Structure 1
């Protein structure tokens, strides 16, 4: 696997430092954080997932509009099954979402030794719970029943302790691990300590994960301009769909705006992450065998 370029590490450090400084001055409440989440995920987060169609077109011979339609139907069908699962069993769906998100996010350190992949993957979802367990529990309460939200938040906090001890132990025992991956994960922990959980997620998801995946995908795609415009178009359609979903949620159940946004963004991300993760795993295995 080709190593990630150094500028991504420095971008993440700069974004984290800027967020800590800005949020320390502004101190947004939960509603303001929810709007920040929507704006930044829409602009910087969604395009990396919207590259899935160009990736699929290179992986398989999706000839003409019929091939594209078959892929899109399968992709959205998987996402729909995830939504149904969340409606039927929200507690189990939340646990599954966090578990596969950890595995998916660990690929941000795919060029690093296994210990750093796993400490990073766990930290991305568990670090905020270690320092802000009650806030994490409140957010989870929008996504699942309180009987599930509390034990999941507590379990994540315990995983966070394990990931932090694992990272510190690995760095203490092996000097060869003290590189950019360790610096990025150290920055993750600083962000988790200093920022509210939603803002932490925004910084990590937009300034490291999305940037890293989108750069890798564009480097591997031959027609970068078409891929980029396709990503912009699909991101716009996703934002419109999310807006419609938010209005339907509010119409069927008059809940708070942060509750509505949390349901729309996180459950929507969960639904889209499953087919995205399956495709990205195939893409990364293919990219290792056929480097650009």
Structure 2
């Protein structure tokens, strides 16, 4: 899809707002809203796992120098509060998921709210309002950029609904490495199963993995998918033991590196939907 033609107002280098975003997906959303009206730094970069990330000295320096910090919230960045406090940052901290009703998995809040495009549009609106609060002189530009961006996300969501509603019941079961796609499942009437829970910091017990494999042997699944932030070994094992095909690689908690298929949030969602639809539709 065409890139965002953001509204920008020239500013002196010293006047540029310094923004830190906790992870790559959120960082891209901020860039789409701010255009060249902010200098955006991301803590957890592409293809990296924010669940298990350990901040370093460069991260502390970025946070200390920031005017604004955006975090996902919902327990996603367990390290963020300590990083902000130890860096003695004076930045205003905003939670991008404000106003979003979280899902729960086994009693735990699921932080992966961006995997619903409707939620993604709420992130964008929150970013625009937050930036307008910090930098009122550019409020009109931020909000115009956000509206244009959200129109594209809304169009993508409508196309996804149209394509996914054609899937049969048997094509709607998906297996991924960890439980990151609950919001996408809820949005489009899919069922996602995973050997690992909402946090990647752990391994399934042999008993739990065996139960999942037995379940899949009994009921089947549309396809298995690896993820960019986790080892493919568990999914490969499940594929060997069930005979279910691996349908591709999904981008769950991070963008791809430059040259990859998911270098922006919009491209990430487009890629994931395209890979899902292709693999699931091919299952009879």
- Normalised to the residue count of structure 2, the TM-score between the two structures is 0.30
Considering Cα pairs closer than 8 Å and 6+ residues apart, tell me whether 1 or 2 has the greater RCO.
1
Quick check: which one's helix share is greater? 1
